[in-house]
Structure 1
Amino acid sequence: MENAFDLPAVSDPMSRHPKIPGPGEPIRLHHSLCYGCGDDAPIGLRLKVIAGEGFTVSAQMVVEQWMQGGPGVIHGGVLTAAFDEILGTAPLTIGAPVVTAHLEVDFAKPIPLGSTLHLDAEVLAKERRKVFVRASAHLGDPENPVATAHSIFVEIDLKKHFAAYRDDAAQSRP
Structure 2
Amino acid sequence: MKTTFVVPDDLEPARRDPAAPAIGEAVPPHNPRCHGCGPDAENGLHLRAVFGENLTATATLVVEPRFEGGPGVIHGGIVSTLFDEMMGLANVHLGVVAVTAVLDVDYARPIPVGTTLRLVGRVLGRQRRKVYSAVEAFDDAAGPDAEPLAAGHGIFVVVDPRAHFAATRP
Q: Does 1:166 align with 2:169?
A: yes
Alignment of 1:2-151 (within 5 A): 3=4, 5-140=5-140, 141-142=143-144, 143-151=146-154
> Is the contact made by 1:8 and 1:125 (CA closer than 8 Å) also made in structure 2?
no
List gaps (5 residues or longer) in structure 2. Answer: none
**Distance in 1 between residues matched to 2:121 and 2:31, nearest whole Å:** 21
> Is the contact made by 1:61 and 1:118 (CA closer than 8 Å) also made in structure 2?
yes
**Distance in 2 between residues matched to 1:89 and 1:111, nearest whole Å:** 22
Aligned structure 1 segments of 4 or more residues deviating by more than 2 angstroms: 5-14
Could you tell which deviates more after superposition, 88-97 or 35-44? 88-97
SS at match of 1:145: coil
Alpha-carbon deviation of 1:13?
A: 4.4
Q: Which residue of 2 aligns with 1:172?
A: none
> Is the contact made by 1:117 and 1:137 (CA closer than 8 Å) also made in structure 2?
yes
SS at match of 2:149: strand
Alignment TM-score, normalising by the size of structure 2? 0.91
> Is the contact made by 1:104 and 1:149 (CA closer than 8 Å) also made in structure 2?
yes
Alignment TM-score, normalising by the size of structure 1? 0.89
**Distance in 2 between residues matched to 1:40 and 1:94, nearest whole Å:** 25
Q: Which residue of 2 aligns with 1:171?
A: none
Q: Which residue of 1 aligns with 2:155?
A: 152
List gaps (5 residues or longer) in structure 1. Answer: 168-174
Q: What does the per-residue CA deviation read over 1:14-46, in whole Å, with 9 as the maximum and x for residues that have no partner?
A: 321112222221011111111001111111100
> Is the contact made by 1:20 and 1:51 (CA closer than 8 Å) also made in structure 2?
no
**Distance in 2 between residues matched to 1:12 and 1:85, nearest whole Å:** 23
**Distance in 2 between residues matched to 1:50 and 1:20, nearest whole Å:** 12
- The share of aligned pairs that are identical, in percent, is 45
**Distance in 2 between residues matched to 1:50 and 1:77, nearest whole Å:** 23
Q: What does the per-residue CA deviation read over 1:152-172, in whole Å, with 9 as the maximum and x for residues that have no partner?
A: 1101111110011014xxxxx
Q: Which amino acid aligns with 1:80?
A: S
Residues 13 and 112 of structure 1: CA distance in aligned 2, closer, same or farther (over 3 Å): closer
Q: How many residues align?
A: 165
SS at match of 1:109: coil
Alpha-carbon deviation of 1:11?
A: 2.4
